[in-house]
Amino acid sequence: MIPFNYLRADDVAGAVAAVADHPDAVFLAGGTNLVDRMKLGVAAPSLVVDISHLPLDQIVELSDGTVRIGATVRNSDLAAHLLIRERYPVLAQALLSGASGQLRNVATTAGNLLQRTRCVYFQDISMPCNKRDPDSGCSAREGYTRYHAILGGSAGCVAVHPSDMAVAMSVLDASVLVMGRTGERTIRLVELHRLPGDTPDQDTVLGHGELITAVDLPPFPFSHQSAYRKVRDRASYAFALVSVAAALHLGDGSGAPGSPTIRDVRIAFGGVAHKPWRATAAENFLRGTAATVANFREAADVELAQAVTLNDNAFKITMVRNTVASLLAGLTRSQVGDIGGDLAGQEQKP
């Protein structure tokens, strides 16, 4: 590891100033991603500003029902919090599907959002990579692409964002509170991460020295009817091949016999793009239709019409479609019971 200076920040303004004043300074939260990258030589900051002792470790409910999560709240504490488990099960499930118990005890909310891609070529400094070294080329394009993007990729980069938590937060319409040199601003979570385009080295819209201070989760009527499903190569301690977060609100009336109508729905995909992928085309297709497996699959296909597969990842199309159908069928079943019809027993089919 290359030598670096260490500074422990005492307050938010001091942390922001310390990083903003040094072009290659970085914030250190739990360190579970940053320190790994420093050991690999992928990151070589001259100054590391430790923000883990800032008073940003609380989860509070605001008067309008918004749940405000401090930037340094640990992933374990967030997943275990009663408000999160009861009101936003999709978030608790996404957190618990990530990393390991030990890592979640250290990893923070903001650090999780800002962890960098696990593309093997990004992590191997002997290989060309536009994200690590702009204009050096993309080794993945002609290499191993099992984990890479099928949506929103560019000629320059087809990496995916690795966070499970971010996918759940995008379904919850979360906002990120950011403090910079010139003051505070709020960014919708779905607009925090970027698609790679010609500048894949920039993961987010944050400027240098901007510190995430909190994430806000607004209330909405069906947030408790939400869930997360992650598909991976082994049952734990693995990043998503694909994942789906969803919240489903069924209407009182019926569609086809045995199939209630979908009043509202929110869907996001993980493991498929450079950012959490909010599936708005699928959502629009489903609103007002009957809650059937056939419609769930068709909605996924509407969203995936724009997908571009690579050498090793065409399977993600089928995997996303089936995961969407499985998750939404499960959410339907949990609201209306064992309804039979074309939902019966179908949600687990490959």
Ligand X SMILES: Cc1cc2nc3c(=O)[nH]c(=O)nc-3n(C[C@H](O)[C@H](O)[C@H](O)COP(=O)(O)OP(=O)(O)OC[C@H]3O[C@@H](n4cnc5c(N)ncnc54)[C@H](O)[C@@H]3O)c2cc1C
Give contact residues for ligand SF4 (rule: CB under 6 A): 117, 119, 121-122, 129-131, 138-140, 157-159, 200
Q: How far apart are CA 267 and CA 271, in angstroms?
A: 14
Q: Single out the residue of 190, 116, 188 nearest to residue 159, CA to CA.
A: 116
What's CA 236's distance to the chain center, in Å? Answer: 17
Check binding of 164 to ligand X (CB under 6 A).
Answer: yes
Among 9, 16, 18, 33, binds ligand X (CB under 6 A): 33
Using the rule CB under 6 A, give the single segment among 20-28, 190-198, 261-269, 291-299 that binds ligand X. Answer: 20-28
Identity of the residue, 98 or 260, whose beta carbon is nearer to ligand X in the bound complex:
98
Q: Vertex 26, ends 22 and 29: CA angle to 5°?
A: 145
CB of 304 to ligand X, least distance (A): 22
Q: Single out the residue of 157, 145, 140 nearest to residue 196, CA to CA.
A: 157
Using Cβ positions, the residue closest to ligand X within the complex turns out to be 111
Question: For 160, what's the count of Cα atoms within 13 Å in the CB-facing half-sphere?
Answer: 28
Identity of the residue, 43 or 328, whose beta carbon is nearer to ligand X in the bound complex:
43
Identity of the residue, 140 or 328, whose beta carbon is nearer to ligand SF4 in the bound complex:
140
Among 31, 180, 218, 251, binds ligand X (CB under 6 A): 31
Check binding of 239 to ligand X (CB under 6 A).
Answer: yes
Identity of the residue, 157 or 343, whose beta carbon is nearer to ligand X in the bound complex:
157
From residue 222, give the alpha-carbon distance in Å to each of 248, 262, 278, 338.
Answer: 7, 12, 17, 20
Q: Which does 158 bind (CB under 5 to 8 A by kind): ligand SF4, ligand X, none?
A: ligand SF4
What's CA 348's distance to the chain center, in Å? Answer: 24
Q: What is the DSSP letter of 138?
A: B
Q: How far apart are CA 5 and CA 26, in angstroms?
A: 11
Check binding of 212 to ligand X (CB under 6 A).
Answer: yes
Residues of span 165-184 touching ligand X by CB under 6 A: 165
Binding mask 41-80 for ligand X (x = CB under 6 A): ----------x-------------------x---------
Check binding of 211 to ligand X (CB under 6 A).
Answer: yes
Check binding of 32 to ligand X (CB under 6 A).
Answer: yes
Residues of span 87-116 touching ligand X by CB under 6 A: 98-99, 103, 106-108, 110-112, 114-115
Among 16, 18, 25, 29, binds ligand X (CB under 6 A): 29
Question: For 247, what's the count of Cα atoms within 13 Å in the CB-facing half-sphere?
Answer: 23
137: left (phi over 0), alpha (psi -120 to 50) or beta: left
Q: Single out the residue of 320, 200, 306, 202 nearest to residue 271, CA to CA.
A: 320
Q: How far apart are CA 235 and CA 224, in angstroms?
A: 25
Binding site for ligand X (CB under 6 A): 26-34, 36, 51, 71, 98-99, 103, 106-108, 110-112, 114-115, 162-165, 211-212, 239
